[in-house]
Amino acid sequence: MKETKERKNKKTLIALLLLLVAFVVIVGYAVSFFSDMLTGGTINGAAGTLDIVADTTTTASVQYYVTPAGEQSQPLDETNLNPGDIVAVSLGVVNEGTKSAYLKGALTFTGTPSAAVHVYPMVTGLPAERDAIRADTTFANALTAPFVFPATGTVVINGTVEKETGGVDATTASPKVIGFYVYFDKAAGNSLQAANLFKAELTVSAMQYRNNPTQSWADVVTQPFTL
């Protein structure tokens, strides 16, 4: 009887050992599947740059035009203006930064300009534009300065990386020209002989284009050009 009980205990022990071995094998099998991991390259986040510069070697200039419109004054002397003369001030802008940007030009007068001085935006830069200025009677008097052109958000200059639909690729070979005409009214009288007519500064500002549908222009990059 005692022997039978010992056999039973031995069989039970062997069965438990076999069960334990089986469990270990099963668990070991369960965690031994092949696995793999694919790691992508390192991502380095960096902010782009916005860097507008004046293209002073080509189109940044002050020109003086007398009647007829296509005749350029010689010598170019802003201290010897005649009634009917037009001063065209323009700045060629190049974006050497990576980011695209809005452009805005502003003409601001220092002190009080003469009431005989009128301001117009430069759109084409062609003689016909100056002809229209001399014929215009709905001029913008310089006393209502500052003048802004183009309107905010209408001109986009591409960066070296960011290219926008409708954006301008303004390079050193082909800059984007922003400018104004300052017209000395042809009806000005003798009282303005030797008068100080105006002193003005043209400033071109750039503001980030992407993710910026409403520009505040509170933090801008500028390029001034003083007459």
Q: What is the pLDDT of residue 89?
A: 84
Q: What is the pLDDT of residue 196?
A: 84
In a domain, 10, yes or no: no
Residue 115 has pLDDT above 80, yes or no: yes
More confident residue, 99 or 153: 99
CA dihedral angle for residue 154, residue 160, residue 164, residue 169, rounded to 10 degrees: 60
Q: What is the pLDDT of residue 162?
A: 94
DSSP 168: B
Cα–Cα dist 55/84, whole Å:
29
More confident residue, 37 or 149: 149
In a domain, 35, yes or no: no
User: What integer is the mean pLDDT of 163-171?
Assistant: 92
pLDDT, tens digit, 9 for 90 and up, residues 73-101: 555 566 778 888 888 888 888 898 999 99
Q: What is the pLDDT of residue 18?
A: 56
User: What integer is the mean pLDDT of 172-187?
Assistant: 86
Q: What's the number of domains the chain is made of?
A: 1
Residue 191 has pLDDT above 60, yes or no: yes
In a domain, 159, yes or no: yes
Cα–Cα dist 47/62, whole Å:
36
In a domain, 81, yes or no: yes
Of 14-23, 126-135, 136-145, the range with the highest mean pLDDT is 126-135
In a domain, 27, yes or no: no
Q: What is the pLDDT of residue 43?
A: 67
Residue 167 has pLDDT above 90, yes or no: yes
Q: What is the pLDDT of residue 157?
A: 93
CATH number, domain with residue 98: 2.60.120
**Residue 150 burial (CB < 10 Å; 0-12/13-18/19+)?**
middle
Q: What is the pLDDT of residue 150?
A: 83
Q: What is the pLDDT of residue 163?
A: 95
In this structure, what token pair is assigned to residue 25? 């094998």
Q: What is the pLDDT of residue 165?
A: 94
Q: What range defines the domain where residue 112 resides?
A: 52-226
In a domain, 43, yes or no: no
Cα–Cα dist 129/125, whole Å:
7
Q: What is the pLDDT of residue 225?
A: 55
Residue 26 has pLDDT above 70, yes or no: no
In a domain, 33, yes or no: no
Cα–Cα dist 86/73, whole Å:
9
In a domain, 156, yes or no: yes
Can you give the pTM of this predicted structure? 0.71
Q: How confident is the model at residue 31 (pLDDT cuts 50, 70, 90)?
A: low
Mean of pLDDT over the chain: 76
